[in-house]
Amino acid sequence: GLSAIVLLCLNPYTITDYGFILSFAAVLGIILFFRPLQVRIKSSSLGEYKGNKAADWIIDSVCLSLSGSIGLGYFLARFFNRLSWAGIVGNIIAVPLGAVSFIGGIIVWAVNFVFPHIAEIIAKYPVRYALFAMNKTAEFFALPFFNMYVPTPTYSFFPVYVMFCYGIYYCLSRKTLTINAE
């Protein structure tokens, strides 16, 4: 929220920028839906996977990707006339690669002050390959086969989308009733 305020104070027209809108819509989707999705999925019949780090990582990645996609839905349809069902799978691959690239960039920056040659090696190999793999993953999942083209929703459809998101949130957050058979 603070970064949005700073950006808007610097330039109020930023609110019309697609990058600004998409970034904050995805973050809002993650803030609202990640935890309820995670709790719902992990408390469902997947109980036999408790403690399995790989299963937890996959579930968390799917929840992160789904929650971001819910936040982006209307805006992707509005700006690009498409929804990508494969983005959920692609994010499971691309997000860790992005994290490696981001952390690698920070390491390169810090190491560069003391050992510039080592920083160059780190930048040339692991960071570059992580960025390359992330970009190729994004290109692959951007192929037309993975996209569902939709008509441009009107601005008046936005309240319907918000109500739809609220419905999803309500259903995910609701406690389920259990009937004890005796």
pLDDT digits (tens, 9 = 90+) for 35-78: 999 988 888 755 566 678 888 888 888 899 999 999 999 999 99
pLDDT at 177 over 50: no
Share of the chain above pLDDT 90, in %: 59
Mean pLDDT to the nearest integer, 91-109: 89
Tell me the pLDDT of the chain averaged across its residues.
Answer: 88
Mean pLDDT to the nearest integer, 143-149: 87
141 or 28: which leads in pLDDT: 28
Mean pLDDT to the nearest integer, 97-108: 92
60-66 long-range contacts, CB within 8 A, separation 24+: 61/91, 61/92, 61/95, 61/96, 62/88, 62/92, 63/33, 63/34, 63/37, 63/38, 64/30, 64/34, 64/91, 64/95, 65/89, 65/91, 65/92, 65/95, 66/33, 66/37
The pLDDT score that the predictor gives to residue 94 is: 85
Q: What is the CA radius of gyration of the chain?
A: 20
The pLDDT score that the predictor gives to residue 45 is: 58
Mean pLDDT to the nearest integer, 112-140: 92
The pLDDT score that the predictor gives to residue 129 is: 93
Between the ranges 22-26, 39-43, 139-143, 177-181, where is the mean pLDDT highest?
22-26
Mean pLDDT to the nearest integer, 79-84: 90
How far is it, in rounded angstroms, from Cα 157 to Cα 163? 10
